[in-house]
Amino acid sequence: MAMAKYSTQTWNIFHPITHHFPRKSPNLSVSLPFYKTPSDFSSLSTSPHLNNNLAPAHLSFKAFASSSSSSSFSVGSAEYTEETATKEKFQTSLSLPGCSTSLSLLGTGYREKVFAIIGVKVYAAGLYVNPSILSTLSTWKGQSASEIQDNSALFSSIFQAPLEKSLQIVLVRDVDGKTFWDALDDAISPRIKTATPVDESALSTFRSIFQGRPLKKGSLIFLTWLDPSKMLVCVSSDGIPSSVDATIESANVTSALFDVFFGDTPVSPSLKTSAANGLATILK
């Protein structure tokens, strides 16, 4: 097949693509009913109750984000959203190693690498957040999706909040671990003006996770920010991970990585657009 001509050694899968995506999906529909009682938050957590002091009474993640690029369905007691461009499925609520509560899906998207004029999808991605993060976003209540997408201060507030955020990456084709890391490093390093010894140590730890590790189609990579200077990395080829592969402790590295996906030039415009649309619906 012609696809076999594209060597993974040439893929910079984290470099922004050159063509443009629409800022907002025209048929976006997100159903996120507002809750009025503390019990309405209970379905988002494996714990009986969330800290209700952190959750504003006018905002809720009770339902999951969906858009024209995703569809939703249930399997048993679990709810999923399908990222329609890749057909990859994302649980709408996840319990991850190191997190204090379940995280809720805010948006999904995909990464496409363009060879000549042919778009090749490399991975799907979903952004999960601690529902209590809503308490930090009331300033932007009422903004449209396009305003939110262009608002670096809002995404900075999400990052700076000392509450968990996690990016789930699902590979939709085989990628060599070294190729994956090299592309990630190429995206992170330019965003760090002057790397300190702490940064270099963190990057070395990060690199060691992927060196010599084949990443097969369907592999899951979770990048979980616990706070602005601490991030957990989990890699699994067999479903949701139960353990942490590495802890990255460097404010420069963790912030640079967040900027790769949610800064002004995101590597997956569809993911940031979906997250912005989800936030716009929640913050009505």
Radius of gyration, CA atoms only, the chain: 18
Give the span between the Cα atoms of 150 and 224, in whole angstroms: 23
pLDDT for 60 beyond 80: no
Q: What digits encode the pLDDT tens for the residues 36-46?
A: 333 332 332 33
Strand-pairing partners, residue 63, are none
152-158 long-range CB contacts below 8 Å, 24 or more apart?
152/263, 152/264, 154/279, 155/258, 155/262, 155/263, 158/129, 158/133, 158/262
- The residue with greater pLDDT, 218 or 64, is 218
pLDDT at residue 64 is higher than 50:
no
Residue-wise pLDDT tens digits, 222-245 = 999 999 999 999 999 999 999 999
Q: How far is CA 146 from CA 1, 105, 142, 202, 272, in A?
A: 40, 20, 12, 34, 11
> What residues contact residue 229 under an 8 Å CB cut-off, 6+ apart?
249, 250, 251, 254
Say if CB 125 and CB 111 are below 8 A apart: yes
Please provide the average confidence, as pLDDT, over all residues in the chain: 80
pLDDT of 130 = 96
Residue 115's φ and ψ, nearest 5 degrees, are -110, 115
Q: What is the pLDDT of residue 72?
A: 58
CB-CB contact of 105 with 246 (8 Å): no
Average pLDDT (10-32) is: 43
pLDDT at 170 over 90: yes
Query: 108-158, pLDDT tens digit by residue?
Result: 999 987 767 777 899 999 999 999 998 889 999 999 999 999 999 999 999
Tell me which residue has tokens 């760090």. 192
Q: Could you tell me the two tokens for 69?
A: 């690029």
CA distance 248 to 231: 5
pTM of the model: 0.77
pLDDT digits (tens, 9 = 90+) for 190-230: 999 999 999 999 999 999 999 989 999 999 999 999 999 99
pLDDT band at 75 (very low <50, low <70, confident <90, very high): low
